[in-house]
Structure 1
Amino acid sequence: MAKRKLDQVLIVDIEATCWQTSIPPGQESEIIEIGLCLLDVASWKPQDKTSILVRPERSTVSPFCTQLTGLTQEQVEQGVSFAEACKLLQTAYASHERIWASYGEADRLRFERQCHSRQVAYPFAPRHINIKALFALWYGLPHEVGMSTALEIAGLPLEGTHHRGDDDAWNIAALFAGMMKHGRSSN
């Protein structure tokens, strides 16, 4: 077993093909963008953000999906395959050795399902932090809230474009960093 790296947390946010109504026959929702932000544990400062575009294999980008994410079919066709994206996560970001986090469980579950259906090795370490649940607990909320609402509660600006993977990963990192900085300073 690889030794776990604890110098950074890998913050992940994905975007997937979506439709305003039901999924068209013969298509399925699949990952088209993996947004990443490395969060330095020593300083709790986001270090880097990037976007990996993933070429869909079993769907096309709908006009609704373009309106929501800003991503077009032409853009994602220039992306890498899902298998290549998973390999890149491991080689460039040591995703299989780092604790990783996302805003909720949906991104983790989608990765698990898509890896299983494509017979691609799961690229992440088993340790996952659900920042959505952690945020609700931290702030004593009666239920979990969306990321943009969480930013408002925390008094943080929404930077970049909502529903773009790299920008959302950056904003999620800011939420998590705020909680961790406060926790560290109160000890």
Structure 2
Amino acid sequence: MKTTNQIIIVDLEATCWENDRIPIGQKVDIIEMGICKLDLISNTISQKQSIYVIPERSEINRFCTNLTGITPQLIKEKGIYFEEACEKIRDEYNPELLTWAGYGNFDREQIIEQSDWLGIENPFSGQYLNVMYEFKNHFRLHKSMGLKRALDYLKMDFEGHHHSGADDAYNTAKILNKILE
């Protein structure tokens, strides 16, 4: 595997329900893939974007829209299928050559699960960095903390809207950059 000075940061938004009560016949589906690239030499974050994904096994409800800001209308206008989103990421980020990271394990597990369900190859490499875990270890904390609390701990402002995939990916990149300084 090639080593590189760049890491891809991913943050997903997915269909969700109040109190995690998933209706019978529905499954958690990715509805946004927020992504950016962290350059470890220049300490810059680039290629930040949201890729909206059409849910294939569930519907976006009011609770989910209130949390993420993602509406069925937005998906209708800008959404692409998960397989197309993976192809777009392959074309724009060369993810198979880079380590990728997320805040916690949900993003990694959901991408693997949805790729397996569709019978497609996970677009990312096997090199995954759990930034929540790295943050906890780096600062020798007794327990993990969420993205916003980690930024507060670092005396950094959250930029953008929480539960926007692209903004959460960007803020995760800021935390990772700080840890790796």
Shared fold, TM over 0.5: yes
Q: What is the CA–CA distance in structure 1 between the aligned matches of 2:42 and 2:179, rounded to whole Å?
A: 13
SS in 2 for 1:14: strand
Query: Could you report, residue by residue, the CA deviation over 1:80-106 in whole angstroms, capped at 9, with x for unpaired residues?
Result: 101101111111111111111101111
SS in 2 for 1:148: helix
Partner residue in 2 for 1:154: 154
SS in 2 for 1:6: coil
Query: Could you report, residue by residue, the CA deviation over 1:153-176 in whole angstroms, capped at 9, with x for unpaired residues?
Result: 011101000000000000000001
Partner residue in 2 for 1:75: 74
* Letter aligned with residue 82 of structure 1: F
CA RMSD in angstroms comes to 1.1
Partner residue in 2 for 1:49: 48
Which stretches in structure 1 are left out of the alignment for 5+ residues? 182-187
Give the C-alpha shift of residue 180 in structure 1: 1.3
Structure 1 residue aligned with 2:14, among 1, 13, 16?
16
Partner residue in 1 for 2:24: 25
- Number of residue pairs the alignment of both structures matches: 179
Query: Could you report, residue by residue, the CA deviation over 1:35-80 in whole angstroms, capped at 9, with x for unpaired residues?
Result: 0111111122212310000011111111010000000011112311
CA contact (8 A) 1:14 1:31 kept: yes
Give the C-alpha shift of residue 5 in structure 1: 5.0
Partner residue in 2 for 1:185: none
Percent of aligned pairs sharing the same letter: 37
Which stretches in structure 2 are left out of the alignment for 5+ residues? none
Q: What is the CA–CA distance in structure 2 between the aligned matches of 1:48 and 1:85, rounded to whole Å?
A: 15
**Runs ≥4 residues deviating over 4 A:** none
Partner residue in 2 for 1:36: 35
- TM-score by length of structure 2 reads 0.95
2:140 paired with 1:169: no
Partner residue in 2 for 1:125: 125
Give the C-alpha shift of residue 141 in structure 1: 0.7
Partner residue in 2 for 1:184: none
CA contact (8 A) 1:44 1:180 kept: no
Q: What is the CA–CA distance in structure 2 between the aligned matches of 1:83 and 1:48, rounded to whole Å?
A: 20
